Amino acid sequence: MESDRGSVETTDTVDNPLQDLTNEQLYQLVEETARANEVLAAETQMFERFLKRVEPIKDIIGPTQQASVASVTSQAEVRGSRRRSKSRSSTTDRLLKLTAEQKCDIAQREIEELRDEIERLNEESEKVLDTYKAIMEEADLRLAEIKKESYEFDRDIVKGAVNQRTAKVIAEKVIRYFEDRLRARDTLIEKLRLKNSTLKVQKKKLHLQLKQKEEMGEVLHEVDFNQLKIENQQYLEKIDERNQDLLRLKLMAGNTLQVLNIYKKKLHTLTMESERLDTEITSRNELLKRIDSETKTVEVERAKAESINRKLRQELADYRVPDVMQYVQEKADLYEIKKKVKSWERKVEIADMALKTHRKTWNQIQRGSGLSEPWRIA
């Protein structure tokens, strides 16, 4: 019993190897399996498109592999149980998988088909766009012609062909108008026919030239176009490099311009400071000249003052104080003179009062005698 139980546990462990894995390992395993399934789904989709387009697949795989693939496919449809041996699963995977060379061949053919399909779709879309553009241009031309015709019909027939007396449209003018229009249309048709024939001749000439170039081998082939694409890509890379260099030089020029502006501001500030200093130096020089002239004048005045001072000092040195009696006598004389002055001032005041009284009396006498302009005593 114990041996049977051990064998059952070993069988469960072999059949279910995921029991010993942690949740993180299971999550990583699921992610890897999902990515592998996406890759296999893309490969399967590409292989299905290839099989739909290319029948049969003898160019890709051999007859033995075809038989093995068919047998494996039938076995996969019958197989329903989850338990299978490792040797059988490895054999099935080996029979189901394609080689790397076969995958590359299929992928290369699919890429070429996609390129051809893209080119074909581009050509078809360009043709459709050209057709729509031509239709729009034709519609615009027709609309402009219709507007012009409507304006001219309204001008020449509705308003210009009306009889003023009967207020009806003159039939002759209408007929003449339509005849002129039909004649102009015929002329235009003839002109377009001639132009069409000229274009046909040019087209025939171009076809002949193209045929001659094809015969001479001057026509560009796909290899030439690929070479031109490669050269164009190289030139585009060089243009990108030059653009990068130009952008770098522009950045350097911008930085240089900023530095130049800073130095220009400093130069302007220093120039203003220099002008201010020049003005201040000029004012200081003028002040210095004025101070020099004043100094000279002061020196002259000082010399005069020194001479006067010396003179006064000499007089002071030569001065002798008078006697006391002489001083008393001088003071007494001064007192007497002051008394006389006061007496004379008093007499003058009395004389002024008498003069005023006599002047007033004299004026009254003149007014009483009736003189127009009385004499006034000065």
- Over the stretch 193-203, which tens digit does the pLDDT of each residue have? 999 999 999 99
Indicate whether 14 and 69 sit together in one domain. yes
Indicate whether 47 and 101 sit together in one domain. yes
> Which of 112-121, 227-236, 315-324 is the least confident region?
315-324
Task: Calculate what percentage of the chain has a pLDDT beyond 70.
Answer: 79
Indicate whether 118 and 194 sit together in one domain. no
Q: Residue 111: pLDDT band by 50, 70, 90 thresholds?
A: confident
The structure tokens listed for 147 are 């507007």
Indicate whether 113 and 180 sit together in one domain. no
Q: Residue 88: pLDDT band by 50, 70, 90 thresholds?
A: very low
Overall domain count for the chain: 3
Look-up: residue for tokens 């030139």?
235
Give the other-Cβ count within 10 Å of 152's Cβ. Answer: 13
Query: Which residues have C-beta within 8 Å of that of residue 359, sequence separation ≥ 6?
Result: 376, 377
Q: Is the dihedral of CA 367, 370, 373, 374 positive or negative?
A: negative
Look-up: residue for tokens 């081998």?
217
Where does a domain end: 192, 216, 240? 216
- Enumerate helices (H) and strands (E) in the chain, giving the number of each: 8, 0
Asked whether residue 320 is assigned to any structural domain, the reply reads: no
Dihedral angle over CA of 167, 171, 176, 182, nearest 10: 110
Question: In this predicted model, which residue has the larger pLDDT, 156 or 310?
Answer: 310
- Over the stretch 112-155, which tens digit does the pLDDT of each residue have? 888 888 988 998 999 999 999 989 998 998 899 888 888 888 88
Asked whether residue 31 is assigned to any structural domain, the reply reads: yes
| pLDDT for residue 344 | 92
| pLDDT for residue 363 | 87
Indicate whether 7 and 113 sit together in one domain. yes
Output DSSP code: residue 159.
I
Domain that holds residue 344: 329-368
Q: Residue 268: pLDDT band by 50, 70, 90 thresholds?
A: very high
Asked whether residue 70 is assigned to any structural domain, the reply reads: yes
| pLDDT for residue 128 | 92
What average pLDDT does the segment 339-355 reach? 92
Is residue 55 a contact partner of residue 115, using CB atoms and an 8 Å limit?
A: no
Asked whether residue 51 is assigned to any structural domain, the reply reads: yes
Kindly tell me the burial class for residue 54, based on how many C-beta atoms sit within 10 Å of its own C-beta (0-12, 13-18, 19 or more). Answer: middle
Look-up: residue for tokens 């592999």?
65
The structure tokens listed for 131 are 């057709």
Look up residue 155 and give its amino acid. R
User: pTM for the whole thing?
Assistant: 0.33
What average pLDDT does the segment 185-214 reach? 88
Closest CA to 156 of 142, 183, 175, 141: 175
Asked whether residue 338 is assigned to any structural domain, the reply reads: yes
SS3 assignment, position 225:
helix
Output DSSP code: residue 155.
I
| pLDDT for residue 17 | 67
- With 70 as the cut, is the pLDDT of residue 340 above it? yes
What average pLDDT does the segment 37-66 reach? 68
Indicate whether 104 and 194 sit together in one domain. no
Q: What is the DSSP string of 264-317?
A: HHHHHHHHHHHHHHHHHHHHHHHHHHHHHHHHHHHHHHHHHHHHHHHHHHHHHH
Indicate whether 111 and 175 sit together in one domain. no
SS3 assignment, position 156:
helix
The structure tokens listed for 153 are 């019909």
- Over the stretch 94-107, which tens digit does the pLDDT of each residue have? 556 677 788 788 88
Q: How far does the chain reach from its first CA to its final CA, in angstroms?
A: 178
| Distance in angstroms (rounded) separating the CA atoms of residues 121 and 128 | 10
The structure tokens listed for 304 are 């005069």
Q: Residue 219: pLDDT band by 50, 70, 90 thresholds?
A: low
Indicate whether 92 and 198 sit together in one domain. no
Q: Is the dihedral of CA 339, 340, 346, 349 positive or negative?
A: negative
- With 90 as the cut, is the pLDDT of residue 93 above it? no
Backbone angles phi, psi at 21, to 5 degrees: -85, 150
SS3 assignment, position 169:
strand
| pLDDT for residue 83 | 40
Indicate whether 7 and 112 sit together in one domain. yes
| Distance in angstroms (rounded) separating the CA atoms of residues 50 and 60 | 11
Asked whether residue 341 is assigned to any structural domain, the reply reads: yes
The tally of CA atoms less than 13 A away on the side-chain side of residue 190 is 6
| Distance in angstroms (rounded) separating the CA atoms of residues 38 and 36 | 5
Closest CA to 360 of 371, 368, 372, 370: 368
Asked whether residue 145 is assigned to any structural domain, the reply reads: no
Write out the E strands in the chain. Answer: none
| pLDDT for residue 220 | 57
Indicate whether 36 and 118 sit together in one domain. yes
| Mean of pLDDT over the chain | 79
